[in-house]
Amino acid sequence: MKKYVLVSGLTAIAVTCALFATAYFLGWTGKTVQVQHVNNLPVQGAMYTTNAEGDLIPLDFTKTASKVMDAVVHIKSSQAMNAIAGGRGRSPMDDFFGDDLFERFFGPQFRMETPNSPRQPEMRVGTGSGVIIQSDGYVVTNNHVIAEAEDIEVTLHDNRSFKAKLIGTDPTTDLALLKIEAKELPSVPFMNSDVVQVGEWVMAVGNPFNLNSTVTAGIVSAKGRNINILQDQFAVESFIQTDAAINPGNSGGALVNLEGNLIGINTAIASPTGSYSGYGFAIPSNIVSKVVEDLLEFGTVQRGFIGAMIRSVDQNLAKEKGLERVTGVYVDSLVSGGAAEKAGILPGDVITSMDGTPTNTSSELLETIARHRPGDRLDVTVDRSGTSKTFMVTLNNRNGDTERIFKERIEIEDQLGAELASVEGDKARKLKIDGGVQIRKLKPGKLRKETNIQEGFIIRKVNGQDVTTPDQLEKVLKKSKGGVMLEGLYEDRPSETYYYAFGM
């Protein structure tokens, strides 16, 4: 028995010595092993990029996302639709009995419903995104998100909802400005979109498929894209193209750089299926900024016009016209009396730069013009048969003059159905008048419907009051109730006075 105990003791001592010897040779320090759990490791950048100073920095989208998500909102727009059951119109029996015949005789519980009876108005609901651009509640979105909406609801990232007031729209750029009654809101600062570079990392933030606060990342794929998606006569398309995933519902959302600054408003996708297939398009922030400023100051966008029919130069056009260059903007024709003609530009000129900005395509030229107002002067450089020439062009408004047009004037012009312009300078002196308001063009409206007035008529008095500018005309008409009497003349008959009457 003692022998077995002795052997066991010697064995234990031997094992212990062996362990100490192993630990000695392996460098054991005498410390115990501890397993640590860490919850807040910094995000490790899988890739690197450079900042403005050229320093190498890890790509980290988390900080940008946290800055921007709170300022991107969900927008729901509603419009009542008057639907007829079965999609048919009224029948002769409906007209004979009347909608409320049975209700009048037997009470509302016996109201007769026929297959053609009008149903309760159905609501058409559209959704999209928006970006808070000022802490006091101004929100930018796409015009197509809220077009014809009777009710607009904005839901913030923190789930608070507000009814929104429509400040103004611009179909030519597909932008709209909303206002909600809230203060101290997070907002996204604007970035100069001119300095955005192809290949630069960007993030798209919005609400695709009603999935709120969705963030995707990609790069700027191209700039100055024209995809012919806007149907307005004076549409301006010079999109920033990105491969950051954009889907239905992203419209009106933010495209930002890695600093969280707004470089564009997401607007469209190019897709054979209606969903993301690699191409998304955003309105550059410089255009957005200008539209917002105009809507706040004038109630409508002040669009400048150069007065020329243009198209981009490519290899085929260069060969057709015998041009020595394959980039630039070719001047096909000029508007008589327009800004380009007055400046000295000729058909056949190739515009190479405007206001110091190269114009390799017509979309780039339109983007530059869209950032200016009527009356602004721009240096326009053209290639004329191989010779470079520079002209000073003063942009006009849509009526051919340089006046700034307020929202009220546009509403009056739409009501009258006329494009108006001031008569001044040489024309006024030739006609021996102090001034007046000329009808440049007639459109559907009261003048065409209720009078036989002709284009070119110069209005000198409204209800006996002298008017020399469209703004004066607008103020007089706003105060008029009932009948309106216009008094004036035509250029080719200056000695004759004409009168036209209509009802407001």
Q: Active-site residue numbers? A: 144, 174, 251
State how far Cα 128 lies from the chain centre. Answer: 13
Express each pLDDT in 366-393 by its tens digit.
Answer: 999 999 999 999 999 999 999 999 999 9
Confidence tier at 218 by pLDDT (50, 70, 90): very high
In the DSSP assignment, the letter for residue 85 is: G
CB atoms within 10 A of CB 439: 22
**Total residues found in the chain within this entry:** 504
Compute the distance between CA of residue 339 and CA of residue 400 in angstroms, rounded to an integer.
8
R_g (Cα) of the chain, nearest Å: 34
Nearest to 242 by CA among 216, 221, 211: 221
pLDDT for the residue numbered 350:
97
- Calpha distance 333→74 (Å, rounded): 45
Residue with tokens 């530059």: 368
How far CA 347 is from CA of 12, 341, 357, in Å, comes to 106, 9, 21
Tens digits of per-residue pLDDT, 133-169?
999 999 999 999 998 888 999 999 999 999 999 999 9
Residue recorded with tokens 């639709």: 81
Give the tokens for residue 406: 């307020």
pLDDT at 92: 40
- Give tens-digit pLDDT for 298-317: 888 999 999 999 999 999 99
Main-chain phi, psi angles of 419, to 5 degrees: -95, 125
Tokens of residue 446, six digits:
């009261």
Buried b / exposed e across 320-358, counting CB within 10 Å, b at 16+? Answer: eeebeeebbbbbeebeeebbbbebebeebbbbbbbbeee
Determine the pLDDT at residue 22.
52
On average, the pLDDT of the chain sits at 83
pLDDT at residue 345 in the model:
97
Report residue 15 as tokens.
């094992």
Task: Tell me what the mean pLDDT of segment 226-243 comes to.
Answer: 88
Q: Is there a contact between 281 and 269 (Cβ–Cβ < 8 Å)?
A: yes
The percentage of the chain sitting over the pLDDT mark of 70, rounded to a whole number, equals 81
Mean pLDDT of 278-305: 93
How much of the chain exceeds pLDDT 90, in percent?
55
Confidence of residue 46 (pLDDT cuts 50, 70, 90): low
More confident residue, 456 or 24: 456
Average pLDDT over residues 263-291: 90
Joined together, the tokens standing for residue 414 give 């739409």
Question: Alpha-carbon distance 232 to 85, whole Å?
Answer: 34
Whole-number pLDDT of residue 6: 47
Q: Determine whether 475 is exposed, middle or buried from the number of CB atoms within 10 Å of its CB (0-12, 13-18, 19+).
A: middle
pLDDT at 5: 44
Who's near 29: CB < 8 A, 6+ residues apart?
none
The region of weakest confidence among 104-113, 115-124, 276-285 is: 104-113
Q: Give the pLDDT mean for 235-245.
A: 93
457 pLDDT band, cuts 50/70/90, is: very high
Q: What domains are there in the chain, each with its CATH number? A: 193-298 (2.40.10.10), 308-394 (2.30.42.10), 408-503 (2.30.42.10)
User: In terms of pTM, does the model score above 0.75?
Assistant: no
Tokens of 125: 């609901």
The answer, yes or no, to whether residue 496 has pLDDT greater than 80, is: yes
Residue 103 pLDDT grade (very low, low, confident, very high; cuts 50, 70, 90): very low
Q: Which strand (E) or helix (H) includes residue 43?
A: none
